[in-house]
Chains A and B, each alone.
Chain A
């Protein structure tokens, strides 16, 4: 065995999860039929608990674009994508000397941006009520629309 290139490029958690999904890890509930090794399923299970499980390729590209102005190192960007920090205290360990480099406002702005680019998954309770309200509002609008139509018909 010869190592030609130890580092041919880092991967985000999402990319590894995407690769395992493309091998059929998500589709086979029995975990026997798909050509996925038991060790790969362990990785899949771990990554499914991380924010990578609801990220998309577009969102990550968007984040990398938007994070350019903060002058972050590649490793820091990778870490933010993997962890999805949405409070300043989560940023502190990831970005070295974050208070000197970005200031408190910069950190706040970054957490807001992270939350906006990588919205929380459907299952978390933070987002769900808002969506319910939106859905109700939609229904109401439809209801109103329907009423209008009825009045149209009756007139």
Chain B
């Protein structure tokens, strides 16, 4: 799940950082640059682990800052295919599930990687809000939002940054109003997309497999209500 990655970077340290010890200044700049960002083929940068070497300190003409060549180690989040992770269901729609880990939320379970046969049904207890239900030998198993869920990594993609502009919309007010309807389901760009599966024994919501079973869970809930 987490890896160390060694990286070399030519770093500009602005003069406002001169009052700090050099390593602190460089660490601060690196954190500004890398933390909570995805580097393609590397993963999501979590933390600067250590600084291996600092070279140079060259001041380029007409630039009032020192430029260092820094070799450092990052902690990155990069799940490997086949890894099992526990997360929380963030949302579910007709395309499948979206899972969140708190610090990373672009994990998707498409329909074909849900346990089959699964159905997207309205939930009568929750105002008809639809949720995925796994039909196991006639026994329905629900996947609610905010369920803790165990999943296996299927693949990781690093989509290229979209550089194309949206096709020009005409200026007429009438068409502007129509345009958003087509784009309603367009997801915001995500630099790292993880595809996961829950179609295997032991995967899926943690409550499916903890041995208590739905009946027990219901009984517990009732007991709590009584007390």
Residues on A lying within 8 angstroms of B by beta carbon are 1-13, 15-16, 19-20, 23, 37-40, 42-43, 45-46, 50, 75, 78-79, 82-83, 87, 89-94, 96
Contact = CB atoms under 8 A, between A and B. Distances in A.
B2 A13 contact: yes
A50 B86 contact: yes
A50 B142 CA distance: 23
B201 A93 contact: yes
Contact of A8 (B1, B73, B203): B73
On chain B, which size bracket covers the interface?
Answer: 35 or more
Interface of B: 1-9, 31, 35-36, 39, 41-42, 46-47, 49, 71, 73, 75, 77, 80, 82-84, 86, 101-103, 150, 152, 200-203, 209, 211
24 contacts: A1-B8, A3-B41, A4-B8, A6-B42, A7-B5, A8-B3, A8-B5, A8-B6, A9-B4, A11-B1, A13-B1, A15-B2, A16-B46, A16-B47, A37-B35, A39-B35, A40-B35, A40-B47, A43-B47, A46-B101, A82-B1, A89-B201, A93-B202, A96-B82
Contacts of B77: 43
Query: Considering the complex of A and B, which 9 residue pairs feature the smallest CB-CB distances, nearest first?
Result: A39-B36, A42-B103, A5-B6, A46-B102, A8-B4, A11-B2, A93-B202, A4-B6, A2-B8
B33 to A, nearest CB: 9
A39 B46 contact: yes
Given A2-B8, A16-B46, A83 B84 contact: yes
A43 B103 contact: yes
A87 B201 CA distance: 12
Given A6-B42, A93-B152, A19 B47 contact: yes
